Amino acid sequence: MVSRRSVTRAFLWLAVLVGGPLLGAKLFDLIVLAGAWSARPPASLAMMPYGKAWPVDTGLFFIPFSAAMLVAGFGALIAGWRTPWRYRWLLCLPSIGILLLLVLTVVAFWPMNAALYYHGTGSPKDTITDAQSIAMAQRWVTLDWVRVVGASAAFVAPLRALTAPWPQDTAPVDPPIVRVMLALVLAGVAAFIVWFVTNL
């Protein structure tokens, strides 16, 4: 029978192997790609990595890697739930962190991406002024540093959990109300993932 320790560590390894490239790509996206298209809006917005000029959408990389990170994070958290909090908090960071970053992406970045792209291409759907595009591009870059910090934590936490000794003691069984709350949270996460995938 496979132990909870082995399952937890397998998910942690997946989180590390996926989190490293994800963090590196996020830094490249922010410093190189966003550095180019946000340099002098609105003219520089033509370099946004969307549309016919860019045959590969950056989302084709970030979406599957973020999904794998989400699975790895929640898999490790569920498998290692009975570990004491001194260890369990390391399992919470990748799962909750990536989930919050995906929510931030949907709530803040998707609308800004659309608005900046429409403005940069002169689309009939354009609803912002040149001055607004400059402010929005700056806000985009600032918020993207939040994603970099979050991706860093989501990478370092499972790496630390892998190198820390596996706790020999276990946390007490959660009361029924806590288990119900956890089930509702996991159902909410699953619902968000389904919504996210269907709206790509």
The domains of the chain are located at: 4-174
One-character DSSP codes across 107-120: IIIHHHHHHHHHHH
Residue 53 has pLDDT above 80, yes or no: no
Task: Please tell me whether residue 175 adopts helix, strand or coil conformation.
Answer: coil
Q: How far apart are CA 186 and CA 192, in angstroms?
A: 10
Q: pLDDT class for 135, splitting at 50, 70, 90? A: very high
Q: pLDDT class for 118, splitting at 50, 70, 90? A: very high
Per-residue model confidence (pLDDT) at position 173: 82
Alpha carbon of 190 to those of 39, 80, 194: distances in Å?
38, 19, 6
Per-residue model confidence (pLDDT) at position 1: 59
Q: Read off the pLDDT of residues 99-109 as tens digits, 9 standing for 90 and up.
A: 899 889 989 99
Residue 55 has pLDDT above 80, yes or no: no
- Closest to 69 in 3D by CA, of 122, 137, 18, 1: 18
Task: Please tell me whether residue 80 adopts helix, strand or coil conformation.
Answer: coil
28 or 56, greater pLDDT: 28
Q: Read off the pLDDT of residues 73-95 as tens digits, 9 standing for 90 and up.
A: 999 999 998 999 899 999 999 98
